[in-house]
């Protein structure tokens, strides 16, 4: 009994650094707002905008509005990523017993943030871009290891995220001389991402007793979205079906999706629903919730979309936000 009580007390006292991202005066959850802007910016900018421009005519009004929404939310997400990462890195140095880890994360986190800032003006040099991917992956591995005792599910997701980024780095650097790298590494990365998306969806259900009752409906919604996207390739498909399919296709990193590969699109459907669920729960005016499930969902979503300076910097932010705390 005493051991179980101590374990329960330890779990309650254990928090992550991202739990500090709140404005109590205004009742705002900064991490939730950032995740919402990231979700809308990537869906509108990377998915819906290209889908509208490649569709049938008569949608000029919608194209202009979607481009405006994508530009505003995308820039907000980029600026918020810089500011929140810097704020968390400064706060990490005040964490008890985490000075060495905080210093390592600060050193690793500077590169992706600088890369994101530079990418707003000019295309990044290959060396700077590859270094940012490697640093973000190392940061996720560090915080994943730091959470292995207090939050095993979060440690699992962060470790897989770090491995996925390192696989992307190996794929880019070795594709010219490693014969089977272009085929094997993306498949392995896709398998990791699909696993993380499933874990992220289940972790949202774990936040409340009624969540598991909604889990079958959530998986059903993912299946319907996935089947709708598959129907977009059929002739004489309805306009809205074409829009859904082209939106998902634009947001999927692997070009093999158009030739029948189902795993990347299914991964995106599951991760998209998981992050949407996490944002809604995070923004509800209820009791304080841990940032862990939102970090898990955001990691799964960022691994389901193409690797860009924004996604790499966002994974850096999530790695710092997952730094364990003890009160």
- For the stretch 271-281, pLDDT in tens is 999 999 888 88
Provide the sign of the torsion angle of the four alpha carbons 189, 219, 155, 314, taken in this order: positive
Report residue 192's pLDDT band, with 50, 70 and 90 as the boundaries: confident
> Could you tell me the residue ranges of all domains in the chain?
13-326
Contact of 277 with 201, CB cutoff 8 Å:
yes
Q: What is the pLDDT of residues 216-274, one digit of tens each?
A: 888 888 888 888 877 776 667 677 777 787 788 778 865 443 344 677 888 888 999 99
DSSP 27-91: TEEHHHHHHHHHHHHHIIIIIIHHHHHTS-SS-HHHHHHHHHHHHHHHHHHHHHHHHHHHHHHHH
Q: What is the pLDDT of residues 22-63, one digit of tens each?
A: 765 455 678 888 999 888 888 888 877 777 776 655 667 777
Report residue 214's pLDDT band, with 50, 70 and 90 as the boundaries: confident
DSSP 236-261: T--HHHHHHHHHHHHH-S-GGGGGT-
Smallest Cα–Cα separation from 267: which of 211, 319, 201?
201
Q: Give the orientation angle of helix 309-321 with respect to helix 30-42, to 10 degrees.
A: 160
- Cβ of 163: how many Cβ atoms within 10 Å? 17
Contact of 35 with 294, CB cutoff 8 Å:
yes
Smallest Cα–Cα separation from 319: which of 289, 294, 299?
299
Tell me 20's DSSP state. G
CA 73 to chain CA centroid, Å, is: 16
Q: Give the orientation angle of helix 292-304 with respect to helix 152-174, to 10 degrees.
A: 20
Q: Give this prediction's pTM.
A: 0.84
| Cβ-based neighbours of 124, under 8 Å, separated by 6 or more | 115, 118, 132, 309
């Amino acid at each position: 009994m005493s051991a179980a009580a101590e374990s329960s007390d330890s779990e309650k006292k254990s928090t992550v650094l991202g739990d500090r991202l709140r404005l109590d005066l205004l009742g705002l959850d900064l991490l939730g707002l950032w995740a919402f802007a990231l979700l809308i910016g990537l869906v509108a900018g990377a998915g819906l905008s290209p889908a509208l421009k490649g569709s049938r005519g008569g949608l000029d009004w919608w194209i202009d509005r979607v481009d405006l929404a994508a530009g505003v939310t995308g820039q907000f997400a980029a600026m918020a990523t810089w500011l929140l990462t810097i704020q968390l890195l400064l706060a990490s140095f005040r964490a008890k017993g985490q000075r060495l880890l905080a210093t390592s994360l600060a050193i690793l986190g500077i590169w992706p943030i600088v890369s994101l800032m530079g990418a707003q003006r000019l295309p990044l040099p290959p060396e700077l871009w590859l270094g940012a991917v490697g640093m973000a992956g190392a940061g996720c591995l560090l915080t994943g290891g730091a959470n292995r005792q207090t939050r095993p599910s979060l440690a699992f997701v962060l470790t897989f995220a770090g491995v996925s980024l390192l696989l992307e780095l190996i794929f880019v650097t070795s594709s010219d001389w490693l014969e089977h790298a272009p085929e094997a590494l993306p498949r392995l990365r896709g398998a990791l991402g699909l696993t993380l998306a499933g874990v992220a969806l289940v972790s949202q259900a774990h936040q409340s007793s009624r969540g598991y009752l909604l889990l079958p409906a959530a998986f059903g919604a993912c299946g319907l979205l996935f089947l709708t996207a598959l129907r977009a390739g059929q002739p004489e498909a309805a306009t809205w079906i074409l829009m859904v399919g082209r939106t998902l296709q634009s947001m999927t990193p692997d070009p093999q999706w158009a030739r029948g590969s189902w795993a990347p699109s299914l991964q995106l459907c599951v991760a998209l629903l998981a992050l949407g669920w996490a944002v809604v729960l995070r923004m509800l005016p209820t009791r304080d919730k841990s940032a862990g499930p939102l970090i898990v969902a955001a990691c799964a979503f960022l691994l389901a979309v193409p690797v860009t300076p924004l996604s790499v910097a966002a994974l850096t932010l999530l790695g710092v936000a997952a730094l364990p705390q003890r009160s």
